[in-house]
Each structure stands twice: as C-alpha cells, then as structure tokens.
C-alpha cells in the first residue's frame, strides 16, 4: 500500500499532467486575451486556493466554457489528453525507478504567502510551494489556510516544485475580522511570540493613544509587548522619554530606548529579538525599517514577492513578510495592526486593558460609570495620583469614544464597509 505522502505525491503528478494538457490546448489557441486578475483572488480566500491557483500564477488558463467548437476540435483535444496521459504514465514509471521526491515531509516555516503560493524556510533552504487543495480553513474559523509564521510539513519533487502538505497547530494567532466574512477571522501572523511597539520621540511626536491601541492589540492576541521609543537622539533630555514610559514600566511591560541614528539601544533590541518571532508595530516614519537595518544590515532588502512569479507585482502593499534574523528568530513588519487592534471591542470591556484605572472603578458612584464624566467617577478623580497617569486616562477616553456600544453595531458597520 502506498504511504500517505506517496499518495499525495501521485496526486501532485496528476495535477502536473493536467497543466501540461491545458498548456498544449492553449498553444493552439488564437491570441491570448489579457488576463485581469479576478477580484476574489484579492480576498483572503484566494490564499486558501488549491493547485488551480498555480495555473493562475504561471499564466495557464483553467478550462473555460466551450460554447461552440470548430469541427474536429473536440477530437483534437481528446487526442492531446490521451497522449499527455500516456506520456505521464511513462514519466511516472521512470520517476519510480530513478527519481524519488527530493524532499519528502520536511518541517519548515512559512515566510511569505501570495495567491496560492508560499515560501517555506527549511533550515537554510527556501522552497516555493503550492498549497495542497485538500487543506481547508473553514472548520477553524479562519478564512486563510496558511499565514506567515505557520509551521508546515512540505515536500519537493525532483524538479524543485514544492507543496505544503500540512499546517501544524498554531501557538498563537494575530488575526483580524475578515473584510468579507465578518464572522470569520483572517490570520495575519501565526506563532508570533511578541509585539515590538515602536514610537518616536519626535518626528512624528509620541502619540500615547496609538501606543495604547497597539498594546491592546498585542494583549488581545496573547502576545507579550515591548514598548520602544526611537529617535531618542532628538530628545534634549532623556529623562523626559523615561517619564513618558513610566506608566508602561509600572504595568510591568518591557521598555526600550533606541536611536537608529547613533546605534543607542540597538544591542539591547537585538537581544530582545533573538530567537523570538516578533511583530513590528508602529506608525509610518517612527524608524522601524531603520531599526531593523541597525539590528541586521540589509534585513529588509530581500523583499521580492512570491507573486513576482506572475510578473504582476500587484498587491505588494498587502504583503506580509517574515524576515529571518541571522542571530535566530524572525521579524514581521505588518501594516494594519492598528486598525484591528480594538475591532469588535465593546466599550465596557475597554477598562480591562487599563488595569491601573480598573483598580479604581469599584469606587465610582454609578455602577455603569463610563469613567469619561466627572460626576461621581473615582477613576477620573484618581488621575494624577500615584500610578494613574494623565496620558493613559486621556487615551482611555479617546479610544472609548471611538468604540461602539455593541458588537452587533460593529458588525453592521463592517458589513457596510465591505459593500461600499
């Protein structure tokens, strides 16, 4: 009885043959119409595609509807299929005697995903892999089968074509509500350990509300945060920076001061990244790329897209890359973590992310106190006292105002956005 991987490999070979057949049929066709990418492939569902997506990437059309065929065309196609299948049978016999798969069932880490293809890091090697069509995300509540950071079992044939066989269980998930399927989540990064929240002291100035949004996002995904203030070379007085981070130190978060320009704090940052999978968060311009470059020169340069295979070069902005550190570990620079940081969070649950404020709420006069009004609010009265910082209270208020009363409201709004 053939082993499981062997069976899967045969399945792969059959797909290969079918592509060959389509290609031959295609060759005899008239001018190729311009391919416009189907909009659905932009949705996260595109990622859960099967081997059909490989055809798409390599520019072969899948079988199209055939309303009227020229005389003899059907016979011609049938003959092509027959001869291709015959030659596959021969190839397979040869393959069995001389060419076993080059790699079978190796474990690796997904570093890039793009419309049905992904890059898998296996030790010092990198495989470009298709994704086994039988893999399905539906049962898991996620819209994408595979995400960067996923640990997978992959195989590669002697011609260098890889396939992801299995996605191993995830240790953590950085996810956001799916744009099209609000009840499902889209995995952005799998198996991350921590979030490095980067802010700059100046240019752009420190923005406590945004910092707190990132911290909330990290906590909701169960990832340990590190709060980093960069561009400290622009501070007249470093003690002012330290003062700004005191609320976070008090809460027990790891904090860090850096300057990508002078190299201050970069050694400490490198230590913190070592051996971990770190998600980078922070608004544009705070110096994330500069810091990565200080940690490891050239780290961000190799950002060729897997989708470059199709020479389309599109949706590069949506691309999330796992960057491999020489010292061990990975870094992910992902846009958009800010938006989904508080998505679906209810107003009354916001206080849970402000433990120093939550400690006071039992003393508010009204049981349903929102802590944004003065009347009878013990939280507000405590602001400025030991351990209750003005900046934190203000960010609580701002985020509170931006949240909706209920999850139902949030869902309705998301749906509206999707249809617009």
Ligand X SMILES: Nc1nc2c(ncn2[C@@H]2O[C@H](COP(=O)(O)OP(=O)(O)O)[C@@H](O)[C@H]2O)c(=O)[nH]1
Q: Tell me the C-alpha to C-alpha distance, in Å, between residue 399 and each of 79, 121, 200, 406.
A: 66, 39, 21, 14
Q: In 10 A of CB 213, how many CB atoms?
A: 24
Exactly one of 100, 205, 285, 384 binds ligand X (CB under 6 A); that residue is 285
Minimum CB distance to ligand X smaller for 266 or for 358? 266
Minimum CB distance to ligand X smaller for 6 or for 233? 233
Quote the CA–CA distance of 305 and 6 in Å, as a whole number.
Answer: 30
Minimum CB distance to ligand X smaller for 51 or for 323? 323
Q: Is 300 in the site for ligand X (CB under 6 A)?
A: no
Provide the minimum distance between the beta carbon of 214 and Zn ion in the complex, in angstroms, as a whole number: 25
Provide the minimum distance between the beta carbon of 205 and ligand X in the complex, in angstroms, as a whole number: 13
Provide the minimum distance between the beta carbon of 366 and Zn ion in the complex, in angstroms, as a whole number: 7
Q: In 10 A of CB 15, how many CB atoms?
A: 19
Q: Using CB distances below 5 to 8 A depending on partner kind, what does residue 259 bind out of Mg ion, Zn ion, ligand X, none?
A: ligand X
Q: Is 369 in the site for Zn ion (CB under 5 A)?
A: yes
Q: In 10 A of CB 145, how many CB atoms?
A: 26
Helix (H) or strand (E) holding 399: helix 390-402
Q: Which structure tokens are listed for 418?
A: 């999707």
Q: Using CB distances below 5 to 8 A depending on partner kind, what does residue 286 bind out of Zn ion, ligand X, Mg ion, none?
A: ligand X
Exactly one of 176, 231, 371, 380 binds ligand X (CB under 6 A); that residue is 231
Q: Using CB distances below 5 to 8 A depending on partner kind, what does residue 371 bind out of Mg ion, ligand X, Zn ion, none?
A: Zn ion
The mark string for 329-368 relative to Zn ion (x by CB under 5 A, - otherwise) is -----------------------------------x----
Burial 349-388 (b: 16+ CB within 10 A, else e): ebbebbebbeebbeebeeeebbbeeeeebbbbebbeeeeb
Provide the minimum distance between the beta carbon of 254 and ligand X in the complex, in angstroms, as a whole number: 19
Q: Is 377 in the site for Zn ion (CB under 5 A)?
A: yes
Minimum CB distance to ligand X smaller for 205 or for 384? 205
Burial 66-85 (b: 16+ CB within 10 A, else e): eeeeeeeeeeebeebbeebe
- Residue matched to tokens 């491999």: 324
Q: Which structure tokens are listed for 106?
A: 């190796």
Provide the minimum distance between the beta carbon of 347 and Zn ion in the complex, in angstroms, as a whole number: 13
Q: Tell me the C-alpha to C-alpha distance, in Å, between residue 402 and each of 345, 346, 372, 410.
A: 10, 10, 13, 11
Minimum CB distance to ligand X smaller for 299 or for 383? 299
Q: Is 235 in the site for ligand X (CB under 6 A)?
A: no
Residues within the interface to ligand X (CB under 6 A): 230-231, 233-234, 259-261, 282, 284-290
């Amino acid at each position: 009885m053939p082993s499981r991987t062997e069976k899967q490999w045969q399945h792969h070979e059959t797909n290969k043959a079918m592509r060959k057949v389509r290609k031959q049929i295609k060759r005899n066709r008239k001018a190729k119409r311009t391919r416009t990418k189907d909009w659905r492939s932009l949705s996260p569902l595109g990622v859960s595609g099967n081997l059909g997506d490989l055809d798409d990437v390599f520019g072969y059309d899948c079988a199209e509807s055939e309303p009227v065929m020229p005389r003899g065309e059907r016979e011609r196609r049938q003959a092509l299929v027959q001869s291709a299948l015959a030659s596959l049978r021969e190839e397979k016999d040869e393959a069995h005697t001389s060419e076993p798969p080059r790699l079978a069932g190796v474990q690796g880490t997904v570093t890039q995903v793009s419309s049905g293809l992904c890059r898998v890091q296996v030790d010092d090697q990198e495989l470009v892999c298709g994704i086994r069509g039988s893999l399905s995300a539906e049962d898991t509540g996620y819209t994408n089968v595979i995400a960067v950071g996923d640990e997978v079992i992959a195989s590669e044939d002697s011609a260098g074509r890889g396939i992801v066989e299995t996605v191993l269980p995830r240790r953590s998930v950085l996810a956001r509500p799916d744009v099209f399927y609000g009840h499902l989540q889209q995995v952005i990064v799998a198996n991350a350990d921590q979030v490095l929240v980067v802010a700059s002291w100046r240019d752009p100035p420190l923005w406590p509300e945004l910092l707190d949004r990132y911290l909330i996002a990290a906590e909701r995904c169960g990832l340990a945060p590190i709060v980093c203030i960069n561009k400290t070379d622009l501070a007249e007085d470093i003690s002012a920076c330290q003062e700004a981070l005191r609320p976070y130190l008090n809460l027990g978060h790891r904090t860090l001061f850096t300057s990508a320009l002078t190299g201050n704090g970069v050694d400490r940052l490198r230590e913190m990244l070592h051996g971990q999978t770190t998600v980078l968060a922070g608004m544009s311009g705070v110096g994330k790329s500069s810091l990565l470059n200080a940690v490891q020169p050239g780290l961000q340069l190799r950002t060729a897209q897997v989708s470059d295979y199709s020479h389309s070069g599109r949706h590069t902005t949506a691309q999330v890359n796992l960057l491999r550190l020489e010292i061990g570990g990975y870094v992910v620079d992902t846009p958009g973590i800010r938006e989904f940081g508080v998505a679906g969070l209810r107003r009354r649950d916001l206080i849970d992310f402000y433990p120093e404020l939550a400690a006071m709420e039992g003393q508010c006069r009204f049981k349903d106190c929102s802590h944004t009004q003065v009347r009878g609010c013990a939280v507000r009265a405590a602001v400025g006292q030991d351990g209750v910082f003005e900046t934190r209270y203000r960010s609580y208020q701002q985020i509170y105002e931006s949240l909706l009363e209920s999850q139902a409201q949030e869902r309705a709004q998301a749906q509206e956005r999707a249809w617009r």
